[in-house]
């Protein structure tokens, strides 16, 4: 079956990503059914996760924006975390169809482009039109090219940061495993757990900041 | 170069669609229902807290009302007792005044009665003395010629007759 998927051009990362998407979707559908006021079991755990994410992003974006963009930033966090941790599963990179999707620049770029587009949409929506881009000319007009470059570089930095970290981490673990197969890889795996979480956090945190900035800029200008 | 970096448009689009599907599914089946249930629970807790606060406030108000009523009952009781006492005092005073008035009236009446009796007795005495004088004078005149010193005897007899009640008309 995996070979068939390979034959149609799907990489291991794409297969893993699909599996993650399917598993998360099933989990969400199962957890979201028959919700009760007094939670129990799975509902309890998922509620804690959703509320935790909402509170975390509320501290950055404010409650209203966090609620509005939680599907994007929350999903980014969960998806990147799952992608990163899929690379820690036994046999990841060795078994057919199992590889961390974030190990591919295409995956990280796809998410970064999504974030870039959503940031523009959020800014335009908040400014009620293309006057959102007037903020590039603030505080002085001649820095507009720099501001534009900064805006355009964001998706590049987001995607390369995540891709580079995960790739570097996996490469380092692989090299250490070949050099000293006992002991050191365990330490690297432990570090990878931490790094996987940090990378997911950084990506979603930066997304939240970008979205927050896009909305805040337009709000301030609207007041002026 | 693009190939060397591992960049593939097909893969990129696949991840894009994959991520978009995941966002859509999680938004519909995870975030929306869970945020709704969290809001509902928050609202219910808030309502319960508001309701409890309102119930506490009502209880406090009732307690205050009862305390006030108890205090009022005590003061009303004291007022009633005070009024009853003052009323009883007034009645007692009225009775005493009335009794005093009646006693003084009785005394006055008695004194007047005595005065009237005294007056009447005086009048009676005057009449009797007049009658006695007339009788004595007529007896003296009847026996004047005799001149034997029996005037004293006649007077004595008349007085005796009077004391025996023979002249009581």
**In chain A, alpha helices (H):** 2-7, 12-31, 42-61, 63-86, 105-127, 144-179, 184-223
Any idea where the domains of chain A sit in the sequence? 2-222
Can you tell me the distance from the alpha carbon of A26 to that of B26, in angstroms, rounded to the nearest whole number? 10
- For chain B positions 3-32, those within 8 Å of chain A (CB to CB) are 5-8, 10-16, 18-23, 25-27, 29-31
**Cβ within 8 Å, pair B27-A35:** no
Structure tokens at B50: 């508001």
Please choose, from the candidates A203, A166, A196, the residue with its C-alpha nearest in 3D space to the C-alpha of residue A85.
A196
Long-range CB pairs of B64-67, under 8 A, 24+ apart, other chains included:
none
Other CB atoms within 10 Å distance of the CB of residue A74: 25
Distance from the B16 Cα atom to the nearest Cα atom in chain A, whole angstroms: 5
CA dist A41 to A64, A96, B104, Å? Answer: 29, 34, 104
- Segment A70-109, tens digit of pLDDT: 999 999 999 999 999 988 888 777 777 788 888 889 999 9
Which of A24, A50, A75 is facing B35, going by the closest CB pair?
A50
Average pLDDT for chain A: 87
**Cβ within 8 Å, pair A75-B33:** no
Please choose, from the candidates A223, A190, A197, A171, the residue with its C-alpha nearest in 3D space to the C-alpha of residue A84.
A197
SS3 A40: coil
Structure tokens at A2: 């995996």
Task: Give the residue, B82 or A171, on which the prediction is more confident.
Answer: B82
SS3 A115: helix
Structure tokens at A97: 């169809």
Average pLDDT for chain B: 86
Task: Give the residue, B165 or B83, on which the prediction is more confident.
Answer: B83
Can you tell me the distance from the alpha carbon of B74 to that of A91, in angstroms, rounded to the nearest whole number? 89
pLDDT at B151: 66
CB pairs under 8 A between A and B: 107
CA dist A183 to A1, A86, A87, A89, B52, Å? Answer: 35, 21, 19, 17, 59
- Is-contact A214 A151, C-beta < 8 A? no
* Mutual angle of helices B9-26 and A12-31, in 10-degree steps: 10
Whether pLDDT at A6 is above 60: yes
**Cβ within 8 Å, pair B27-A113:** no
Chain B residue numbers with beta carbons less than 8 Å from the beta carbon of A17 are 14-15, 18
Interface test with B, best of A24, A27, A50 (most B CBs within 10 A): A50
Distance of CA B140 to the CA centre of its chain: 83
pTM here is: 0.71
**Cβ within 8 Å, pair A47-B29:** no
pLDDT at A156: 92
Please choose, from the candidates A76, A154, A181, A182, the residue with its C-alpha nearest in 3D space to the C-alpha of residue B18.
A76
Sign of CA pseudo-dihedral A189, A108, A83, A43? positive
pLDDT at B91: 94
Which of B18, B23, B40 is facing A71, going by the closest CB pair?
B23
- Please tell me whether the interface predicted TM-score (ipTM) of this complex is above 0.85: yes
Can you tell me the distance from the alpha carbon of A21 to that of B158, in angstroms, rounded to the nearest whole number? 164
Whether pLDDT at B108 is above 90: yes
Chain B residue numbers with beta carbons less than 8 Å from the beta carbon of A11 are 11
pLDDT at A76: 95
Interface test with A, best of B34, B35, B42, B46 (most A CBs within 10 A): B34
Q: pLDDT confidence of B147, banded at 50, 70, 90?
A: low
Q: Which of B70-74, B108-112, B143-147 has the lowest mean pLDDT?
A: B143-147
- Is-contact A190 A85, C-beta < 8 A? no
pLDDT at A153: 93
pLDDT at B139: 78
Whether pLDDT at A5 is above 60: yes
**Cβ within 8 Å, pair B27-A32:** no
pLDDT at A70: 94
Q: pLDDT confidence of A192, banded at 50, 70, 90?
A: confident
Which of A31, A74, A114 is facing B16, going by the closest CB pair?
A114
Can you tell me the distance from the alpha carbon of A48 to that of A53, in angstroms, rounded to the nearest whole number? 8
**Cβ within 8 Å, pair A21-B22:** yes
**In B32-150, alpha helices (H):** 32-142
Structure tokens at A86: 């899929």
Please choose, from the candidates A79, A49, A117, the residue with its C-alpha nearest in 3D space to the C-alpha of residue A204.
A79
Can you tell me the distance from the alpha carbon of A219 to that of B14, in angstroms, rounded to the nearest whole number? 35
- Is-contact B11 A106, C-beta < 8 A? yes
Using a CB–CB cutoff of 8 Å, tell me whether B37 touches chain A: yes
**Cβ within 8 Å, pair A72-B40:** no
Q: pLDDT confidence of B2, banded at 50, 70, 90?
A: low
Which of B10, B23, B41 is facing A72, going by the closest CB pair?
B23
- Is-contact B16 A113, C-beta < 8 A? yes
pLDDT at B8: 85
Closest chain B CA to residue A104: B6
Share above pLDDT 70 across residues of chain B, in percent, rounded to a whole number: 89
């Amino acid at each position: 079956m995996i070979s068939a998927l390979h034959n149609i051009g799907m990489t291991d990362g794409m297969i893993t990503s699909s599996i993650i998407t399917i598993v998360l979707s099933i989990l969400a559908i199962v957890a979201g059914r028959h919700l009760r006021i007094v939670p129990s079991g799975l509902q309890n755990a998922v509620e804690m996760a959703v509320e935790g994410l909402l509170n975390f992003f509320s501290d950055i974006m404010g409650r209203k924006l966090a609620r509005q963009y939680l599907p994007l930033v929350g999903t980014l966090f969960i998806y990147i975390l799952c992608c990163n941790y899929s690379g820690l599963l036994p046999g990841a990179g060795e078994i057919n169809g199992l590889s961390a999707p974030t190990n591919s620049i295409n995956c990280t770029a796809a998410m970064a482009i999504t974030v870039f587009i959503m940031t523009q949409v959020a800014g335009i929506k908040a400014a009620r039109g293309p006057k959102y881009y007037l903020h590039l000319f603030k505080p002085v007009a001649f820095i507009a090219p720099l501001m534009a470059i900064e805006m355009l570089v964001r998706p590049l930095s987001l995607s390369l940061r995540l891709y580079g970290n995960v790739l570097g981490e996996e490469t380092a673990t692989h090299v250490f495993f070949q050099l000293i197969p006992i002991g050191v890889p365990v330490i690297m795996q432990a570090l990878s757990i931490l790094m996987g979480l940090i990378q997911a956090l950084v990506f979603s945190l930066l997304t939240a900041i970008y979205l927050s900035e896009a909305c805040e800029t337009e709000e301030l200008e609207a007041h002026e | 170069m693009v190939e060397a970096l591992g960049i593939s448009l097909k893969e990129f689009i696949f991840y894009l669609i994959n991520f978009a599907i995941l966002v859509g599914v999680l938004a519909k089946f995870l975030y929306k229902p869970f945020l709704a249930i969290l809001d509902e629970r928050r609202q219910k807790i808030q309502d319960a807290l508001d309701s409890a606060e309102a119930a506490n406030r009502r209880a406090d108000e009732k307690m205050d009302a009862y305390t006030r009523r108890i205090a009022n009952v005590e003061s009303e009781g004291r007022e009633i007792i005070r009024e009853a006492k003052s009323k009883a005092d007034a009645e007692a005073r009225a009775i005493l005044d009335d009794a005093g008035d009646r006693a003084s009236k009785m005394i006055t009446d008695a004194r007047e009665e005595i005065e009237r009796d005294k007056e009447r007795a005086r009048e009676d005495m005057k009449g009797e003395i007049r009658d006695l004088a007339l009788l004595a004078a007529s007896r003296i005149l009847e026996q004047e010629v005799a001149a034997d010193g029996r005037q004293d005897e006649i007077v004595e007899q008349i007085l005796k007759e009077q004391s025996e009640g023979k002249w009581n008309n």
